[in-house]
Chain A
């Protein structure tokens, strides 16, 4: 059983088809990066995986559970950091963790893990402040904490590095590594290629809602990798033929 198994995923918003027949799978202990330009369908794919947007067609299985058939059960196995904020404006950071622990019926002792995560992401002093007063980077860091807090089998991180300072980026990379060591499947959606290469071992390139390439992230590393990536995005900025 694969932790993440997506077949022929289609997501439509009225007349607009945001995702066209995406196939995707993530094995336990591995990390896959979803990369592509703005509007490529990365966040929509992530939302469909997280169960916040219902697929128009195809199927999604999280830890063997069909998301469409049993969304509540599927959501027990995943942790999701949305691309926009993802935080309740007038709840404190601690209240977010308290709510998550309660909804997920986490055993007592979750407070120690919550405190440790907040400290690691340099949010210990802000734990009792409402998130409306957080900077963008602080909000991103707390969103990552909330996604990983309950050690989910599937970790979905949508733009986790966006606007985050270098220390926050390091903490996030460390957290992804730990999740993989624990056997979690990690899916990272980002437009920052270098960090995708650093955090994941496979990259899926999306363009116009379709998968245009799926390859080891090493193939996208360095200058040659960046050039190849630009060709895959179809930007037309890359000169010469696409590297092999």
Chain B
């Protein structure tokens, strides 16, 4: 059985694992919404006047560079990419490393950051396309670039995952990673990074994307196709090497002794401390949060954008952080949910603790990304802009947590969130969550962006209050479900056993 066939079988199995018609319809609807969003962005971008052409032309190479970097970093954060079916469930089957690698490539579009970037890039390419009628060809070249970058990024990430299979490798790669981040920030501050991004190759690619009828564009099609085949070969080998190289005994991280902390003064504080530990001790969550906290900020910082263009960012980062764990936050308790439910703890305390920890972690992530941008751009000078950004942050965090909490109670599932490749839900569910959260994150983001340039300042406060009111409604509905013993029992049983 070839690797491609194995991937097909695994995808079919994953589809069959969606037992209810409702779940299958939700997947199809989710994919439809994602496609609709891209089409909508393309349509709007195609109808806009060209007054921002110069700025967009400068921005495009930076966004392409960011995509390449995130393809590697995203793959690394996920320990080699998303799994079609968790490795633990396939342990008795001869799934080839090539199939594992190709599966990661196939599922890459389900990644929130990947999808968000594609939406933005499609909009940019369509907006800048000359002639506009050739935009579909430009988008096709963009998707070829995205596929090649993803295949290449995952190949590099599998190689690094392989190096990290022993203590020395981990030490070396972590040191190099920190050094790279430090150098990148320094380069961004001194303008060297901008010069690196604006290199002839990336500018040439950007020009080909916007002038897809040119001979250069044809050359890029051929080069990217060749590169993707090479990346697929290298990636399969890197994955194979990495999986064979596992000389670290399984569970080394889990057998570490943790410092004993003093008892907290109340059940609430103790519960919050345990929930907080469950988040920060999880490798996939920790890596994802670092990525979400730094990457959008670094990307924005090195791009030719100002604070005015970044009002939409906090809700998007908040949604990205919530996707890492908060959309299935009750699964943090795992099998312990059954024991906890038998203790004399009020249901309100249990849910409130999860909401609190989700809120603080999401806020921390958004604050980190804003801090990185502040270092690069300096603090926003106008009071109105500062107010808008603060409101965008607050509303973005509350929205993301309220929506995620609702999903946690409505569609819970067992999630280990222990190994680097674990996600809080199966791939199809993650797609649905990603589409839903992105769509809802765009509402406050765009709303605040529009109100920043038009309307009185107090309208910002009214809009924020309205959005917070809607979030409160979500929380109220969530509580209504959670307070029903029969529903709570269903949730607890699902997160405890699957």
Chain A residues close to B by CB (< 8 Å): 47, 50-54, 68, 71-73, 75-76, 78, 80-82, 84-92, 94-96, 98-105, 128-133, 143, 146, 156
Q: Which of A78, A88, A89, A94 contacts B342 (CB 8 A)?
A: A78
The answer to whether B340 has its CB under 8 Å from any CB of chain A is yes
Residues of B within 8 A of A96 (CB): 336
* A-B interface contact total, Cβ < 8 Å: 133
Q: Which of A88, A98, A102 contacts B340 (CB 8 A)?
A: A88
* Given contacts A75-B344, A99-B270, A103-B344, A129 and B255 within 8 Å (CB-CB): yes
Smallest Cβ distance from B344 to chain A, in angstroms?
A: 4
* Given contacts A54-B489, A100-B343, A133-B255, A47 and B338 within 8 Å (CB-CB): yes
Check B257–A129 contact: CB distance below 8 A: yes
Residues of A within 8 A of B22 (CB): none
Check A86–B335 contact: CB distance below 8 A: yes
Check B335–A85 contact: CB distance below 8 A: yes
Q: Which residue of A lies closest to B254 (CB)?
A: A133
* Given contacts A85-B335, A89-B416, A102 and B267 within 8 Å (CB-CB): yes
Check B486–A132 contact: CB distance below 8 A: no
CA distance A54 to B273 in the complex (A): 29
Check B416–A130 contact: CB distance below 8 A: no
Q: Which residue of A lies closest to B418 (CB)?
A: A132
* Given contacts A104-B343, A104-B344, A128-B258, A82 and B266 within 8 Å (CB-CB): no
Check A80–B342 contact: CB distance below 8 A: yes
CA distance A90 to B493 in the complex (A): 18
Residues of B within 8 A of A86 (CB): 335-336, 338-339
Check B342–A90 contact: CB distance below 8 A: no
| 9 extra interface residue pairs, beta carbon distance < 8 Å, beyond A76-B344, A132-B254 | A52-B341, A91-B274, A92-B258, A94-B260, A95-B274, A99-B271, A102-B263, A102-B271, A129-B256
CA distance A80 to B344 in the complex (A): 11
* Given contacts A92-B258, A102-B263, A129-B258, A85 and B496 within 8 Å (CB-CB): yes
Smallest Cβ distance from B488 to chain A, in angstroms?
A: 8
Q: Return 20 A-B CB contacts under 8 Å, by A number.
A: A47-B338, A50-B342, A76-B344, A84-B335, A86-B339, A87-B335, A88-B334, A90-B277, A95-B274, A98-B270, A99-B271, A102-B264, A103-B267, A103-B345, A128-B257, A128-B259, A130-B256, A130-B281, A132-B418, A146-B339
* Given contacts A98-B263, A98-B270, A130-B258, A72 and B346 within 8 Å (CB-CB): yes
Residues of B within 8 A of A143 (CB): 339
Q: Which of B273, B336, B343 contacts A87 (CB 8 A)?
A: B336
Interface size of B in residues (CB-CB distance below 8 Å) = 44
Check B334–A89 contact: CB distance below 8 A: yes
CA distance A244 to B342 in the complex (A): 39
CA distance A103 to B333 in the complex (A): 16
Smallest Cβ distance from B141 to chain A, in angstroms?
A: 44
Residues of B within 8 A of A84 (CB): 335, 338, 496-497
Most A CB within 10 A of own CB, among B251, B342, B492: B342
Scan residues 228-285 of chain B and give those whose CB is less than 8 A from a CB of chain A.
251, 253-260, 263-264, 266-267, 270-271, 273-274, 277-278, 281-282
Check A88–B486 contact: CB distance below 8 A: no
* Given contacts A53-B489, A82-B335, A103-B345, A88 and B270 within 8 Å (CB-CB): no
Smallest Cβ distance from A77 to chain B, in angstroms?
A: 9
Residues of B within 8 A of A95 (CB): 273-274, 277
Smallest Cβ distance from A183 to chain B, in angstroms?
A: 20
Smallest Cβ distance from A25 to chain B, in angstroms?
A: 20
The answer to whether B485 has its CB under 8 Å from any CB of chain A is yes
Q: Which residue of B lies closest to A135 (CB)?
A: B251
Smallest Cβ distance from B341 to chain A, in angstroms?
A: 4
Q: Which of A71, A75, A88 contacts B274 (CB 8 A)?
A: A88
Check A85–B343 contact: CB distance below 8 A: no
* Given contacts A53-B489, A103-B344, A91 and B277 within 8 Å (CB-CB): yes
A-B complex: 6 closest residue pairs judged by Cβ atoms: A133-B254, A85-B335, A88-B336, A102-B270, A80-B342, A82-B338
CA distance A179 to B211 in the complex (A): 81
Residues of A within 8 A of B282 (CB): 90
CA distance A103 to B336 in the complex (A): 15
CA distance A81 to B336 in the complex (A): 10
Check A52–B255 contact: CB distance below 8 A: no
CA distance A103 to B270 in the complex (A): 8
Q: Which of B251, B264, B278 contacts A88 (CB 8 A)?
A: B278
CA distance A105 to B267 in the complex (A): 8
Q: Which residue of B lies closest to A67 (CB)?
A: B485
Smallest Cβ distance from A141 to chain B, in angstroms?
A: 14
* Given contacts A84-B497, A94-B260, A52 and B271 within 8 Å (CB-CB): no
* Given contacts A88-B274, A128-B257, A132-B254, A102 and B266 within 8 Å (CB-CB): yes
Smallest Cβ distance from B302 to chain A, in angstroms?
A: 35
B49-88 toward A: CB 8 Å interface, digit per residue (1/0)? 0000000000000000000000000000000000000000
Check B334–A72 contact: CB distance below 8 A: no
CA distance A146 to B359 in the complex (A): 30
Smallest Cβ distance from B467 to chain A, in angstroms?
A: 33
B332-363 toward A: CB 8 Å interface, digit per residue (1/0)? 11111011111111100000000000000000
Q: Which residue of A lies closest to B257 (CB)?
A: A128
B281-299 toward A: CB 8 Å interface, digit per residue (1/0)? 1100000000000000000
CA distance A19 to B418 in the complex (A): 35
CA distance A54 to B263 in the complex (A): 32
* Given contacts A53-B489, A72-B346, A84-B496, A89 and B278 within 8 Å (CB-CB): yes
Residues of A within 8 A of B251 (CB): 132-133
Residues of B within 8 A of A128 (CB): 257-260
Check B344–A90 contact: CB distance below 8 A: no
Check B333–A88 contact: CB distance below 8 A: yes
Q: Which of B270, B277, B334, B341 contacts A85 (CB 8 A)?
A: B334
Residues of A within 8 A of B267 (CB): 99, 102-103, 105
Residues of A within 8 A of B339 (CB): 80-82, 86-87, 143, 146
